[in-house]
Amino acid sequence: MGNSGFAAIRRQYEFRSIGIGNWVTADEQQRAAHRFAGALEDLKTILGGPESLVSLRGSLSLEYGIGGQRGVSAHYTPAKRSLSLAKNAGAGSLAHEWFHALDHYLATHAFTNAPPDCFASAAWLKELQPVAHPLNALLFRCFRAILVSEDGSEPSALFRASARMDGQLGTYYYSRPEEMGARAFEAFVQDAPVNSPLLVRGTRQSDEARAGLYPQEPQRTAINLAFGHYFRSLGRALFREFHKTGPGPTPQRQSDAV
C-alpha cells in the first residue's frame, strides 16, 4: 500500500492534507495506512455519515510521525486544524483526538461569537450565544448529558470525578469541557458494535476509568443515547445534502452543524 495508501485515504475522505514524517519508512507507512483505513472506516460506520463528516468537510489534516511530543502519542492542534499521531503511537488514540477536531470545528458553527481557538463544549458551558438550528439543539443535549446532572441542578458525575482528579494533581486538565467531551466520545465509540483498536481502548478497565474519568452508568447510557441521536440526525442531513449536490465541496452556512 505504501504512500499510495495514504493518498487513497486522502482522496476517499477529502482530508485537506496528510503529512508523513521523514523518518517513517516505507514499511511503516504501509502498516500505518492499513491501520488508519480500518479505523476511519469504523469511525464512519459509527457516526453514520458520509466521508465528508470524518474529514469535517475537508477542513481537517492528518499527520503521522510529524512533530511528536514527549509522552504524547496523539494530539490535535487547533491553529492548524491538524490531528497528529506519533510514529509509535499506541492503540486507542484516534477517537479522542478526532472529537477534539469536531468540537473545535463546531464552535463557530454552533455559536455566533466563539473565538477561533474555542471548542463548542467550552462555549456551551460559558453560555455563549448559540445558533438556532435543530442539529445544534441535539449537540447541546450531548453537552448537557456530559457536563450536568440529569435534573440540571449540579455538575455531572463525570465532571465531579474529573475535578477531583485535577485537585489531586494540582492541575486543570481532566475537568476541561473539551477533555470530558472527548473522553465521553471515546466511551460512545468503545460501546459501538464495531471499532478498530486504533480508535479507542480503556474506557471501562483502565486506571482512569476506575477513577471515574470516563462516564459510568447511568450517565454513560444517557451520553451514548444523546450522541447516537445527534450523529444519526447529522448523518441523515449530510446524506440528503450529498444527494442534492453530489460529491465534492459543499457550501458553508453558519447554521450548518457540519
Give percent of the chain with pLDDT exceeding 90.
72
* Containing structural domain, residue 146: 2-245
Q: How do residues 23-45 score in pLDDT, each as one tens digit?
A: 888 888 888 899 899 999 999 99
Identify whether 254 is part of a domain. no
The pLDDT, as a whole number, for residue 191 is 96
Whole-number Cα distances in Å, 204 to 42, 207, 209: 20, 9, 5
User: Of 215, 156, 218, 150, whose CA–CA distance to 186 is shortest?
Assistant: 215
User: 10 versus 255: which is more confidently predicted?
Assistant: 10
Please name the amino acid found at residue 233: S
**What's residue 71's pLDDT?**
53
Residue type, 31: R
- Which has the minimum average pLDDT: 73-77, 114-118, 212-216? 73-77
What is residue 23's predicted lDDT score, i.e. its pLDDT?
84
pLDDT in tens, 149-179: 999 999 999 999 999 999 999 999 999 999 9
Residue type, 162: S
Does the pLDDT at position 229 exceed 50? yes
Model pLDDT, residue 178: 98
- The per-residue pLDDT for 201 is 87
- 250 in any annotated domain: no
pLDDT for the residue 4: 61
Counted domains in the chain: 1
Quick one: pLDDT at residue 189? 97
Given a cut of 50, whether residue 3 has pLDDT beyond it is no
* 198 Cα distance to chain centroid: 13
Say what the pLDDT of residue 52 is: 94
Q: Is residue 220 part of a domain?
A: yes
Residue 217: pLDDT over 50: yes
The b/e string for 176-215 (b: 16+ C-beta within 10 A; e otherwise) is bbbbbbbbbbbbbbbbbeebbebbbbebeeeebbeebbbb
Instruction: Evaluate whether residue 142 is within a structural domain.
Output: yes
164 in any annotated domain: yes
At 67 the pLDDT is: 62
**For residues 190-205, average pLDDT:** 90
